[in-house]
Copies of this chain bind each other. A is one copy, B any other.
């Protein structure tokens, strides 16, 4: 005969440390100690308590613990949009790392209009740290977050005037490498498609790119803005390549837009890549390796950036110190077939 679940014990067991204490015939403080690593409690007592806890289905209430200890174990993760695959992958990995370290991620999908609301909620939930993972979140929001005094790490973005750490790759050098590669590939009319004008990633990639062109006696042939969106990039590409005197190469500020640009060049305009136009992106998202695009791009040191983000954040939390350090990781050109390969 199958035993029915005991009806006296509701499914959503609100079992407290007091219940366990009574059951194990010990004090409530002892129960607390049994669940606190490093607390002074005898092995015998702990065992007895753990046994009772299992029997009753007890789990410490993390919220109550947070109240008294001042440690919520919560990290706010601010993200703007997940279309660009770079971000979900980073979100996934950073979350996993934080979970492994005993923290839990509170997700904030933020929009430009949200700012005050977001900051307010972050504060209400007593998060111990904040990760801002988006190229496009406004710097006012970053400033507000930094002002809370809660440790902040900006991921793939920086605001130099802020008491917040940031983790980025060397976007300036990345831009330079791309300029070098395109010039050496013999291109004469080299264009640039910007992402979001106010993002540090775009600013640095663009600055490095122009610098690289200048170093080789070139200037940009034409500049358009795609705004880091697929549709924006398509529109800008049609305008740019739809004219008779079109570029023979383009650096697109991220891969996500580069795919859109490639589609327009090939399918709307019937041009060949790289024979008619060379295309280079930035980020090296997994799709860049997909054969249909096989995109030459610059790889951000993703796993190092993830590691640095969690390390810097946890370090700040554990030392109660708010820092303003920037970790910059090297960029690396990943050569595939979407851009003409220089000879030699």
Query: Beyond A109-B95, A259-B290, is A10–B67 a contact (Cβ under 8 Å)?
Result: no
The contact string, 1 if C-beta is below 8 Å from chain B, for chain A 72-88, is 10100101011101011
Is A120's CB within 8 Å of the partner chain B? Answer: yes
Which residues of B sit under 8 angstroms from A64, Cβ to Cβ? 67
Is A99's CB within 8 Å of the partner chain B? Answer: yes
Partner among B61, B87, B124, B263 whose Cβ is within 8 Å of the Cβ of A290: B263
Least CB distance, A152 to chain B, in whole angstroms: 12
Which residues of B sit under 8 angstroms from A22, Cβ to Cβ? none
Is A26's CB within 8 Å of the partner chain B? Answer: no
CA distance A11 to B147 in the complex (A): 7
Query: Beyond A85-B85, A123-B59, A125-B104, is A267–B286 a contact (Cβ under 8 Å)?
Result: no
Q: Name A136-168 residues within 8 Å CB distance of B.
A: 147-150
Copies of this chain in its oligomeric complex? 2
CA distance A106 to B287 in the complex (A): 28
CA distance A85 to B285 in the complex (A): 12
Q: Name A91-105 residues within 8 Å CB distance of B.
A: 91-92, 95-96, 99, 104-105
The contact string, 1 if C-beta is below 8 Å from chain B, for chain A 7-47, is 00011110000000000000000000000000000000000
Interface contact A109-B82, CB-CB below 8 Å: no
Least CB distance, A142 to chain B, in whole angstroms: 15
Least CB distance, A297 to chain B, in whole angstroms: 15
CA distance A10 to B147 in the complex (A): 11
Which residues of B sit under 8 angstroms from A267, Cβ to Cβ? 291-292
Interface contact B106-A107, CB-CB below 8 Å: yes
Least CB distance, A151 to chain B, in whole angstroms: 10
Query: Beyond A95-B107, A149-B11, is A62–B124 a contact (Cβ under 8 Å)?
Result: yes
Interface contact B104-A92, CB-CB below 8 Å: no
CA distance A123 to B290 in the complex (A): 41
Is A121's CB within 8 Å of the partner chain B? Answer: yes
CA distance A91 to B287 in the complex (A): 20
Least CB distance, A153 to chain B, in whole angstroms: 16
Interface contact B230-A286, CB-CB below 8 Å: yes
Interface contact B287-A287, CB-CB below 8 Å: yes
Interface contact B286-A263, CB-CB below 8 Å: no
Query: Beyond A95-B109, A105-B107, A121-B104, is A150–B12 a contact (Cβ under 8 Å)?
Result: yes
Which residues of B sit under 8 angstroms from A290, Cβ to Cβ? 259-260, 263
CA distance A72 to B12 in the complex (A): 15
Closest A-B pairs by Cβ, 5 of them: A11-B149, A12-B149, A88-B88, A292-B292, A267-B291
